[in-house]
């Protein structure tokens, strides 16, 4: 246990868990995201110039707020931006700091032995995780806006005749995925890699995880093979890849974070949020978004299904939810499928 805490403290130090908040390091990317291009420094988001236009969505349970706003640039142009504000989890190893005299406690209600207070912690313990999409497109705004959702039952034929043609007609950029695979971005965040181009993958923390505690552990295994989009592309030919992810991913997490395989939830999303095959690893006790029965497919079940039937995911009817404003829902409606 002591060794685990020591590793955790060392990892936090590496990840920048400083007492005093510091500005984030400048981001870099290749010019035009062209492979092999020279990197350039991207300017810091002009947070003080952000003007809220609308609250897109909020969740009291998840303590998260999605905001749409405008930013006036120095050039005079006005651009859309999305700011996501999320309260970070409490850290058990910093409770003593939280309860120290640096925090202020104000009484709200007292009744017999029960009392409720508002605790005002010091700035270094009051952080809010902030995710920014800038400049944002109308598609981004719709993505984060609260919408009604509808269940779709997609047969194998529906996928081939409706979903796949729709995906092929869209211009979804996944250059950021290739940047990770090619070590052009986030190379220092890679937890583990199997470099085989067909059955290998990169294991990296998801942006939703701040890496300060393992209770909400969240990593992504991104496949090196670029011809695989989702569950629908899997056959028995991918079993070596899937077994590598399942076995080596668990071993890497045990080594780095001291969580055993039976403490992990390992799964695919269908439909995925981006169409390059990837697998989610989350702490089993963490109520991660996207683990509902209509979206999550356990990797162990996927492997077992392919062992029984190599073409299982070409034939299986898959159920998933689509938001009211999603163009794919209209395709299914026009085809009389929902």
Strands (E), 139-200: 149-154, 192-194
CB 267 within 8 A of CB 299: yes
Please report the domains of the chain, with CATH numbers, ordered by start residue: 45-86+130-136 (3.30.200.40), 89-126 (3.30.200.40), 147-334 (3.30.428.10)
Instruction: Give pLDDT tens digits for 190-228.
Output: 999 999 999 999 999 998 898 988 999 999 999 999 999
CB 97 within 8 A of CB 125: yes
CB 152 within 8 A of CB 338: yes
Residue 16 is predicted with a pLDDT of 36
Residue 36 is predicted with a pLDDT of 34
Average pLDDT, the chain: 85
Residue 40 is predicted with a pLDDT of 44
Residue 306 is predicted with a pLDDT of 98
From 68, 269, 276, 278, the catalytic residue: 278
Examine the residue annotation and report whether 297 is marked as an active-site residue of this protein: no
Cα dihedral sign, 24-26-29-32: positive
pLDDT > 90 in the chain, percent: 55
Average of per-residue pLDDT across 174-194? 95
pLDDT band, very low/low/confident/very high, at 270 (cuts 50, 70, 90): very high
Average of per-residue pLDDT across 101-108? 84
pLDDT > 70 in the chain, percent: 87
Average of per-residue pLDDT across 271-281? 96
CA distance 196 to 290: 29
Q: How far is CA 205 from the centre of its chain?
A: 9
pLDDT of 135 above 80: yes
């Amino acid at each position: 246990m002591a060794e685990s805490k020591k590793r955790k403290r060392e990892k936090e130090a590496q990840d920048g868990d400083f007492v005093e908040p510091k500005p984030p390091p400048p981001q870099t990317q290749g010019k035009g995201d062209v492979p092999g291009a020279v990197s350039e420094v991207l300017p810091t988001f002009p947070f003080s110039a952000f003007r809220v236009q609308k609250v897109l969505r909020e969740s009291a349970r998840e303590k998260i707020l999605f905001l749409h706003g405008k930013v006036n640039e120095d050039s005079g142009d006005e651009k859309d931006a999305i700011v996501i504000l999320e309260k970070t989890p409490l850290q058990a190893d910093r409770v003593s700091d939280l309860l120290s005299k640096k925090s202020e406690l104000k009484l709200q209600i007292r009744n017999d032995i029960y009392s409720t207070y508002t605790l005002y912690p010091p700035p270094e313990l009051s952080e809010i995780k902030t995710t920014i999409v800038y400049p944002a497109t109308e598609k981004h705004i719709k993505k984060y806006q609260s919408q009604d959702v509808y269940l779709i039952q997609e047969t194998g034929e529906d996928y081939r005749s409706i979903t796949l043609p729709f995906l092929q007609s869209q211009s979804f950029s996944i250059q950021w995925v290739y940047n990770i695979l090619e070590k052009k971005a986030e190379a220092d965040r890679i937890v583990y890699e199997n470099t085989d181009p067909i059955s290998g993958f990169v294991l990296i923390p998801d942006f939703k995880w701040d890496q300060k505690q393992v209770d909400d552990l969240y990593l992504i295994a991104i496949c090196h093979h670029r011809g695989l989009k989702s569950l629908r592309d899997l056959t028995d030919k991918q079993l070596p890849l899937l077994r590598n992810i399942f076995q080596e991913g668990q071993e890497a997490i045990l080594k780095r974070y001291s969580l055993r395989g039976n403490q992990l939830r390992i799964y695919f999303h269908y439909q995925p949020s981006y169409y390059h095959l990837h697998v989610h690893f989350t702490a089993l006790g963490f109520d991660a978004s996207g683990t509902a029965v209509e979206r999550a497919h356990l990797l162990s079940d996927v492997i077992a299904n392919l062992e029984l039937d190599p073409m299982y995911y070409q034939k299986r009817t898959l159920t998933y939810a689509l938001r009211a404003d999603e163009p794919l829902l209209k395709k299914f409606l026009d085809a009389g499928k929902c």
